[in-house]
Structures are given as C-alpha cells and as structure tokens.
A = this chain, B = another copy of it.
Amino acid sequence: ITVDLERYRIRPGESVDLATRATDDTQGLSDSDEVDDQFDEHLDALDDLQERLYAQGSQSLLFVFQAMDAGGKDSSIRKVFGPLNPQGVRVWSFKVPSKKEAAHDYLWRIHRRAPGDGYIGVFNRSHYEAVLVEKVLDLAPADRVAKRYTQINDFERLLSDEGTTVVKVMLHISKAYQLERFKRRLRKPDKFWKFNPSDLDTRALWDDYMAAFEVALSRCSTVHAPWYVIPAENRWFRNLALAQLVRETLERMDPQFPPPDFDPAAYPPDSLV
C-alpha cells in the first residue's frame, strides 16, 4: 500500500488554498488489517534506518509539525516517532517564548534545538509560529513579519547545506472537526488539562490562521525543505502517510553503517579474553 504523498506536497511558490484541500482524504483506502500491517512494516524499516543514521553519525533529520489546536500533533509524534529508539530522537515543544527566549530573535531558540549528527529532531510547533500566531495577533510589526519568510528559508537552507534534512508537515483539519475534538475534551475530566479557554479565542480567528498558513506554505515550501499538508482527520490514514513520509525521507538520506575505525582482522573474536 503506497500513499501518493506528492499530492500533499506544496510546490515552491505554489499558491495554496487550504479550503480546497481535503482534511479527510484517504485516497480510497479504508482502515483495515492491511493498513495496520503496512504501518508496522514502515516502523520496522524505520528501526533499521534510524540505527544506521545514529551509527553513521554524519547527518540528521528534522521533522517540523504545525497544526491548529486538536490537529493531532501530539498523537502523530507519539505514533510515528514513539516506536523509534528514544536515545536517537529528541522532541521539542515550542510554547510561548520564555522571557529569555523572547530577548533573542525568533530563530535563536529554534537553532539551539536543531538535531545533531545522527539524531532525529521533532518540533511540535516551531519557528513558523513567528509567521502564524505572531502575525495573526499582531505580536510583531508587519514589516518584520514580512521579512521572516526569506529569513526562514535561509535558515532552513543553512541546516540543509550542513547536513540536516528538513521536512515540514501541516496536519490539516477542518473547523468542524476541531469543534468535535474540543467538545470531547470538555466531556472528559481526564482531558480538561488539554483544554484552555484561550483555545476558543484562537478558534475564533480560524480564517486568519488559515490565511497565514497559506502564505507560509507558499513562500516556505522549498526544494531543500518541503511542506506537506497531510489530511489529519482520519488518524489511521494520517499515521500511515506520515510513517511513509519519514521512511522515504530516510531512505533518500541512505544512511550507512560507518567503516570500523579499527581493523577487524586484528581482533578475531575467538582471540578475545
């Protein structure tokens, strides 16, 4: 089972209309044992690829997740990156900047968390908040926000040039779907901690956020750091698509076990004491 991921990739400079992009697409697939098996097969492949990446220790992978509240960032990260070796994965959540972080430019805290050689970095929200919430809420002057798309592209090119493969994912849901998720959280006391009344303020600005996403997707999907808009309402499909995307990305990176830095012939196993 192969998902057509190209359908979700934003071409550099392409104008993006999120309203025309399905949030519940499954490419004709249905939730089935075959899909589960395919997902598990992706995880097995990822296991091997990650071990090689870590052993090789000369390149790294960065996956960026953005979505509206209840878009499934947390559960996507858990499902797709959770099964990997936790020693080689670092997940960073970027919330409202701390006082110290806010005293620096908006890429400072991001750059510090970029993955090192051999590692997979996962960002739950990212520098894109600087052209999403900061734009929508006028937290930064418009002329500064206007410069950020180029700054972000330059920054991601730096990472790419220096050995980090960058892939960005927007988990795409509808406003109606978000409503159902919010209701669900408010029906379960165990989920109250995931709800914040300010989420409703953000929801009220849905169209503004979609417009900000569209500009960011169009201007910052590059050859070296593409954006994918993944339909995220069917979780099994979202997980399948993401696992395939991570796998294909790592396969293109083609990590190899490094040559030993010793002469194996000098250490015949049976001579060890």
Show the binding face of A for B, using Cβ within 8 Å.
55, 74, 77-78, 81-87, 89-91, 93, 122, 124, 179, 182-184, 186-187, 189-190, 192-197, 200, 257-258, 260-262, 264, 267-270, 272-273
A-B contact pairs, 7 of them (CB 8 A): A74-B85, A86-B89, A183-B270, A186-B264, A190-B257, A192-B264, A195-B260
Q: Which residues of B contact A192 (CB under 8 A)?
A: 257, 260, 264
Contact B90 A269 (CB under 8 A): no
Task: Report A174 CB to chain B, min CB distance, Å.
Answer: 14
Contact A195 B262 (CB under 8 A): yes
| A196-B273 Cα distance, complex, nearest whole Å | 15
Contact A77 B81 (CB under 8 A): no
Task: Report A173 CB to chain B, min CB distance, Å.
Answer: 15
Task: Report A103 CB to chain B, min CB distance, Å.
Answer: 19
| A109-B194 Cα distance, complex, nearest whole Å | 33
Q: Which residues of B contact A270 (CB under 8 A)?
A: 183
9 nearest CB pairs, A to B: A192-B260, A183-B269, A55-B193, A186-B269, A87-B91, A197-B262, A86-B91, A82-B86, A78-B85
| A87-B92 Cα distance, complex, nearest whole Å | 7
| A272-B69 Cα distance, complex, nearest whole Å | 15
Contact B182 A272 (CB under 8 A): yes
Task: Report A116 CB to chain B, min CB distance, Å.
Answer: 11
